[in-house]
A and B are shown apart, each in its own frame.
Chain A
Amino acid sequence: MSLTQGTSTSTRAAAVVAPGELRADPDKRGRARESRRQVKSTKSSKTMFLLILPFLILVFLFSYLPLAGWVTSFYDYRPALGMSGSEFVGLQWFEMLVSSPTQLRQIGQVLTNTLAMSFLGFATSLLPVFFAMLLNEIRAPWFRNSVQTLTTLPNFISWVLVYMIAFSLFSTTGLVNSVLHDWGIITAPIKFLDTDQHVWLTMLLWSLWKGLGWGAILYLAAITAIDPALYESARIDGAGRFQIMRYITFPQLMPTYVVLLVLSIANMLNNGMEQFYVFQNAFNKEYIQVLDLYVYNIGITGNSLSMATAIGMLKSLISVLLLVAANAVAKRARGTSII
């Protein structure tokens, strides 16, 4: 803060001096004062720099240093031999990625899956808002609290356990199939888990089940921050409960929502892999493999570490492209650039 203050004061000081004087013979006293200020401001900017240094170091350690691992993609890396003992293969892995149409199709499918899951996530991102609004309308505190607790809890269950729940409910001998079978509704078990039908949708439903309650917490907090005067005046004006929701609560939540949405767009390619990893099997693999899972399957499961690195780099490339695109949109819409 003082850094900017310092500069702005000195500019102002310079502006006070008449242009003619400045050109001919500047006031000596003024110059001395100015250099003193400059010393002061360099000093304070040094302190400021020291203050942010730890964070810069962290950013370097965790965001830039790992990039050195990219070098793996130019080698035929074998852990037992180390990087120095492994053969340098240049762009071989990248050439392999683009050399065959089947390979390209597979990567295309993976990207489609990744983006589809992300967009389904955006499309349903309003649900927690509505959920929070409805929750807020519940009068009985014990009921509201228990609903909130029950819906928040799944967020703390790991995906592995979620899969166990899914498995015991929906496997061919799971609860659902057994019950349907015992009631005589079905004769052959329905395959819920090992099918390539509606994979994106079921994955979306699972992540909603897990995340809805948790997602609503932020909005509930935001609702408490809405000025009660708005509600009072709305009520005085004769607004009903749904009208209040529609015209007061919802618009008031929008800024929070937009911030969260923008943040999640930045994470578009990072839709995680735990969920898809535990749910994947030979039948749904084609539609469930998102970018992170694909890299994992090639690198860790398939033990092609170098090739997985090459594919992993793809993610950064696409992220940069998305950033440039978003920047272009922002520039056109707001006239300013992000960068």
Chain B
Amino acid sequence: MKSRKVATILVAPLLGALSLTACTGPGSDDEPATPVSIDQDWSEADPITVDVFDGLANYMGIQGGWFGEIVKEKFNMELNIIAPNVAGGGDTLYNTRVSGGDLGDLIVADKGQQMDELIAGGLLLDAQAYYGSMENVTPYDDAVAKLNEDKDGVYGFPTAVSSLKPTEPSEGLDPTFGPYLRWDLFAEVGYPEITTLEDLLPVLQEMQDAQPEGENGQKAYAISLFGDWDGNMMVTAKQPATLYGYDELGFVLARADGSDYQSIIDSDSEYVRALKFYFEANQMGLVDPESTTQNYDTMFSKYQNGQVLLSWWPWLGQSAFNTEERMAEGKGFELVPMQDQQIFSYGAEVYGGKQFLGIGSGAEDPARLAAFIDWLYSPEGVMANSSQTMGSAGPEGLTWELGDDGEPALTDFGRQVFLEGGADVPAEWGGGDYADGVSALNVSTVLPKDVNPEIGFPYSYTYWPSYQETVANPLTEDWSARMGGATTTVEFLEANDQVIVAPGSSYTAPADTSEVEANRNQAKASIIEHSWKMVFAKNEDEFDKLLTSMQETANGLGYETVLEFDMANAEAQNESREAVAAEFG
């Protein structure tokens, strides 16, 4: 205890000195890019700890567990994950670190504005010298070139790249969005027909009456909302628009095929329709009154307890509630067929997703980081790294193995982990709970739906035939029987023309000008504030009054300027979608 105190006293000034040196901005980058090979045995290199600034991570601290063990073994490197999502406070952490001149050694950030800014500020390293020997990235050269277009070097590596056609859904089994209801209750009220969004309300009412309480004995509500993801608009009110093929781009709701662009605050927009939907639901007593004050985590635990009956996302309702045990009883969230739906689906991104991977200009050992990034693109790396929610299969030999017939299948341990709620990892793999050891980077380099060239099957275990056979249960069987024998949601939607794919063009909107940005921030704050009030308005009169007030206030705060900017971007996005569909589709 005492020695630690002494150490602290000794180290404190040192840290101060270090943080001062950290302020000395980026170095000059005059050195010519002579190729440097990354091909060496990094496990023998000096141990280092690298700071990973990861805009996607939901864990902060040193990566431990089995993934940490693999990285340690291969690269003798520890990952110190810095996660703005965990730190909170919006962009504060990012701003503080960039103004200090060092964002991190390894960087996962947004492409577009953020990437341009980081390059201009000299915070990203030009990895041109290493790129030549990064063999695992080579197959995705197109995407790398596209990402670094108009930049004098290789500053970033794309994420979620795919060799699938851009007109194919990037989602595999379930779309990103969809009207998911508690199927058991939907069955209980007699599988009523749903023609359009508003028809959900009476159905939800019946379902809530059929099951007024969750499994923990607390009151259940058909709908539960949360506010901590609100961005340009109230996030839960955008979701119904996706059922009709719209996705947001700033203040614009753009249809996947470019046939329609809506300003969100227009009285007849899908956004306002959704607000009205929630308003009516609230009048019927279907909305959880805690919605106004709870965050995503609180709401998620309500889903886990069966206190919520509707989910706009399969990865919310299903992942929270559909456990093995419940599905065996026929309980769980499944998509209901809404006759007029045409669900928005993100096409596979040939040029990669919204984020990029980069090496910080202050990195101690950039070659090793380049090697690490390269490994993340290797079949082994993809299997181990892709985030768990995306269906990462984990390392071969631990969670899965190739059967005698050459098909991959989950091992007993894998089944325990993925189907039975987790298990402890054997000591030789690093020990600890499997879920705690999953890669905290939370970023996929290659789309999990893509085929792993080494095994001939997709990276994600959820697509393996062996897996699909095992998971058949009363819930999916009942659903499938009602859906004309479809085995997956996407299959059903495709067969019934209820999905609309936005070709994956990897379009990134240009940076907001300062004026647009300031206007946007003020207008969106007002839009979100009004949206919430509208949902919980006392009566129709108040709802209408708030709608008018929202339109007036937003317009007064410069909404028009921003909308014009967003409209232009939405059209540009559509052009790039058409272009990519024509080229690869």
Interface residues of A (CB under 8 A from B): 76, 78-82, 85, 87, 89, 92-93, 96, 100-103, 105-106, 167, 171-173, 188-189, 191, 193-194, 196, 281-283, 285-286, 297-298, 300-307
Contacts and interface: CB of A to CB of B under 8 A. Distances in A.
Nearest to B99: A79
Interface of B: 25, 89-92, 94-96, 98-99, 114, 117-118, 120-121, 123, 227, 289-290, 292-293, 514-515, 517-519, 521-522, 525, 528-529, 531-533, 536, 552-553, 555-558
Contact of A300 (B92, B292, B293, B515): B92
**Closest 4 A/B residue pairs (Cβ):** A102-B556, A302-B521, A282-B532, A76-B514
B499 to A, nearest CB: 33
22 contacts: A78-B121, A79-B94, A79-B95, A79-B96, A81-B121, A82-B25, A82-B121, A85-B121, A100-B558, A101-B556, A102-B552, A105-B556, A167-B293, A171-B290, A172-B292, A191-B289, A282-B532, A282-B533, A283-B532, A297-B525, A306-B514, A307-B518
Given A191-B289, A281-B292, 14 more contacts: A80-B99, A80-B118, A80-B123, A85-B120, A87-B514, A92-B514, A96-B515, A100-B556, A100-B557, A102-B552, A106-B557, A193-B293, A194-B536, A303-B517
A296 to B, nearest CB: 10
Contacts of B290: 171-173
A172 B514 contact: no
A194 B288 CA distance: 13
A100 B557 CA distance: 7
A282 B522 contact: no
Contacts of B99: 79-80, 82
A89 B92 CA distance: 23
B405 to A, nearest CB: 53
Given A81-B121, A305-B95, A92 B515 contact: yes
A167 to B, nearest CB: 7
A171 B293 contact: yes
A78 B522 contact: no
Contacts of B552: 102
Contacts of A171: 290, 293
Contacts of A297: 525
Contacts of B95: 79, 303, 305
A96 B517 CA distance: 12
A188 B219 CA distance: 13
A283 B515 contact: no
Contacts of B227: 281-282
Nearest to B294: A171
Given A171-B293, A297-B525, A300-B92, A283 B514 contact: no
A333 to B, nearest CB: 42
A277 B123 CA distance: 33
Contact of B522 (A103, A196, A283): A103
Chain B binding site: helix, strand, loop or mixed by DSSP? helix
Contact of B120 (A81, A89, A191, A282): A81
Contact of A80 (B98, B293, B531, B557): B98
Contact of A302 (B98, B522, B532, B533): B522
Contacts of B90: 300-301, 303
A279 B90 CA distance: 18
Interface hub of A89, A285, A302 (most chain B Cβ within 10 A): A302
A89 B556 contact: no
A194 B525 contact: no
Nearest to B524: A302
Contacts of A193: 293
Contacts of B289: 172-173, 188-189, 191
A102 B98 contact: no
Nearest to B98: A80
A307 B520 CA distance: 12
A307 B514 CA distance: 10
Contacts of A298: 521-522
A78 B92 CA distance: 12
Interface hub of B89, B118, B120, B289 (most chain A Cβ within 10 A): B289
Contacts of A82: 25, 99, 121
Contacts of B556: 100-103, 105
A137 to B, nearest CB: 42
B416 to A, nearest CB: 36
B217 to A, nearest CB: 13
Interface hub of A81, A96, A172, A282 (most chain B Cβ within 10 A): A282
B117 A80 contact: yes
A306 to B, nearest CB: 7
Contacts of A283: 292, 532-533, 536
B213 to A, nearest CB: 13
A76 B92 CA distance: 17
Contacts of B533: 196, 282-283
Interface hub of A80, A167, A171, A300 (most chain B Cβ within 10 A): A80
B325 to A, nearest CB: 27
B104 to A, nearest CB: 13
A286 B532 CA distance: 13
A80 B98 CA distance: 5
A286 B529 contact: yes
A237 to B, nearest CB: 58
Contacts of B89: 300
Interface hub of A78, A103, A196, A283 (most chain B Cβ within 10 A): A78
A297 to B, nearest CB: 7
Nearest to B285: A188
Given A82-B99, A300-B89, A303-B90, A194 B293 contact: yes
Interface hub of B91, B114, B528 (most chain A Cβ within 10 A): B91
Given A82-B121, A282-B533, A102 B292 contact: no
A102 B98 CA distance: 34
Nearest to B119: A80
A302 B289 CA distance: 27
Contacts of B517: 303-304
A92 B513 CA distance: 12
A302 B525 CA distance: 8
Interface hub of A93, A194, A286 (most chain B Cβ within 10 A): A194
A92 B90 CA distance: 25
Contacts of B118: 80
Contacts of A93: 518
A306 B517 CA distance: 11
A89 to B, nearest CB: 7
Contacts of A96: 515, 518-519, 558
Nearest to A95: B515
Nearest to A75: B514
B538 to A, nearest CB: 11
A191 B282 CA distance: 14
Nearest to A189: B289
Contacts of A79: 94-96, 98-99
A285 B518 CA distance: 19
B514 A89 contact: yes
Nearest to B91: A303
Contacts of B117: 78, 80-81
